[in-house]
Amino acid sequence: EILALANVPTFDPNAFAKAPEEARRNRAIRDLYEPGSVFKIVTFAAALEEGLLRPNEVIECLGGRIVLAGHTIRDHRPFFRLTAREVLEQSSNVGTIQIALRVGAERLAQYIERFGFGRRTGVELPGEARGIVRPMRRWTPVSVGAIAIGQEIGVTALQMAAAMAAIANEGVWVQPHLVRAVRSRDGTVVKRAQPERRRILSPASARALAQMLEGVVERGTGQLAQLSGYSAAGKTGTAQQFDPRTRRYSRTRYVASFAGFAPVADPRVVVLVALDRPRPKYTGGEVAAPVFKRIAEVALHALNVPPDRQEGRPLLAMRTNFASEGTEGEIGLGIAEEGKDEALRFSSLPPAQRDLPGRDLARAVASAGRTKEALPLVRVPDFRGQGIRAVTEQCARIGLRLIVSGSGRAVRQEPAAGTLVVRGTTCRVQFQ
């Protein structure tokens, strides 16, 4: 389900006719680009699914240089022997090509088709492009290696996001869609979306690849995509643009991208960021990964997804770094200091009571035989007059969940400013 789709430059919909064509174009579904290293997820998926690769086996990276049919392909720095996991983390072109040569042209072409490249996704938007996937009979001796690292293929941002979502969905490709349901005036569902779903990878292969992609964010080229409070997995891409004048790949024009999902164990959002010719920095890890971080954190907070990390470490008892400095953080499903007798475990409450406003939740806890003093309490700030970003940051800092309605400046909030509530309480703030 597409929750948000944005293009820059944009336009004023009230003056559509006055906007230049460049601003009106929906780049996410119409513009084609060579995805570069983000596309390596297809190569690795094929190798894992076909039983041709183990995450910890060693791959010879040949000092960062490989020659295919007289064409030299290099890494961004010399690598010699890396595990398959490290090949993906460090985005080694040579290592990926070595893996692709195991897969072979025929199987690689099959997985490109499985992931939906070369045909429209069928999203409910006009003007969607098919992408460019040459038939295998037109591949050259270089093609397997080039396509494996995201060259010689044209994709849309939506196609690439859907491919990453298939890994997050444990191997099930789901057709991107905008409309969840159509309702009549009285609220009756007239039509419910039935997006196409098809399994393209086994759950085991998808999970193995997801763990490898988590390593990209934790230790590899995607470290600037690390989220506050959440695990994340993804892949960077830095693709040279083809220069039609010189008929060579440009050394100054790039598409920088990052595609990823979070949290890793139970993904709720997939985000793809692509930037055309960024300057002065131009790599996906430098310019696209930080944008992923900002978007994913806001989305996860808006969806009330409980954090699963604290200071980059997995949480044992639903700990979160939402708490202010010097304190342990807790949110609605558990308490930080595991093993302390006085620590309340919210999982002991009936599910219907876990999202109650602070006072009601305290009563529910007391009625469950616990003491009110065991609860970590925070005071609700006065959000009036502030923008969505400022309110989101305050809620994150003190450990409150946030539900936003409207846009502009905050005009109303519940609970009221100054109310003492349990950390993890949901605040509803209206903006206009």
Q: What are 351-396's pLDDT values in tens digits?
A: 443 344 444 433 443 343 333 334 467 889 999 999 998 898 888 8
Domain contains 133: yes
- Helices 93-103 and 40-49: angle between axes, nearest 10 degrees: 40
Q: Higher model confidence: residue 51 or residue 341? A: 51
Task: Please state, in angstroms and rounded to a whole number, the distance separating the CA atoms of residues 256 and 238.
Answer: 5
pLDDT interval class at 52 (50, 70, 90): very high
How wide is the angle at C-alpha 29 spanned by C-alphas 115 and 32, nearest 5°? 75
Task: Please state, in angstroms and rounded to a whole number, the distance separating the CA atoms of residues 41 and 27.
Answer: 22
Residues 163 and 46 both lie in one domain: yes
Residues 79 and 122 both lie in one domain: yes
pLDDT at 376: 65
Residues 52 and 89 both lie in one domain: yes
Domain contains 386: yes
pLDDT at 98: 98
Mean pLDDT in residue range 26-35 = 96
pLDDT interval class at 422 (50, 70, 90): confident
The type of residue at 255 is V
Residues 242 and 359 both lie in one domain: no
User: pLDDT tens digit string along 130-160?
Assistant: 999 999 999 999 999 999 999 999 999 999 9
Residues 81 and 207 both lie in one domain: yes
pLDDT at 312: 41
User: pLDDT tens digit string along 232-289?
Assistant: 999 999 999 988 888 888 889 999 999 999 999 999 999 999 999 999 999 999 999 9
pLDDT at 39: 99
The one catalytic residue in 37, 91, 205, 231 is 37
Domain contains 136: yes
Residues 145 and 226 both lie in one domain: yes
Residues 59 and 205 both lie in one domain: yes
Residues 292 and 357 both lie in one domain: no
Out of 248, 270, 302, a domain closes at 302
Residues 232 and 93 both lie in one domain: yes
Domain contains 183: no
pLDDT at 244: 84
Out of 274, 302, 330, a domain closes at 302
Please confirm, yes or no, whether 37 is among the known catalytic residues.
yes
Residues 246 and 116 both lie in one domain: yes
Domain extent, residue 218, equals 13-175+200-302
Domain contains 189: no
pLDDT at 143: 98
Q: What is the mean pLDDT of the chain?
A: 85
Q: Is the pLDDT of residue 333 over 90?
A: no
By CB neighbour count within 10 A (0-12 exposed, 13-18 middle, 19+ buried), where does 231 fall?
buried
Task: Please state, in angstroms and rounded to a whole number, the distance separating the CA atoms of residues 52 and 46.
Answer: 8
User: pLDDT tens digit string along 284-327?
Assistant: 999 999 999 999 999 998 898 999 886 444 433 222 222 222 22
Residues 42 and 151 both lie in one domain: yes
* Residue found by looking up tokens 């690769």 in the block: 53
Residues 297 and 314 both lie in one domain: no
Task: Please state, in angstroms and rounded to a whole number, the distance separating the CA atoms of residues 365 and 335.
Answer: 13
Out of 281, 302, 323, a domain closes at 302
Q: Is the pLDDT of residue 192 over 60?
A: yes
pLDDT at 97: 98
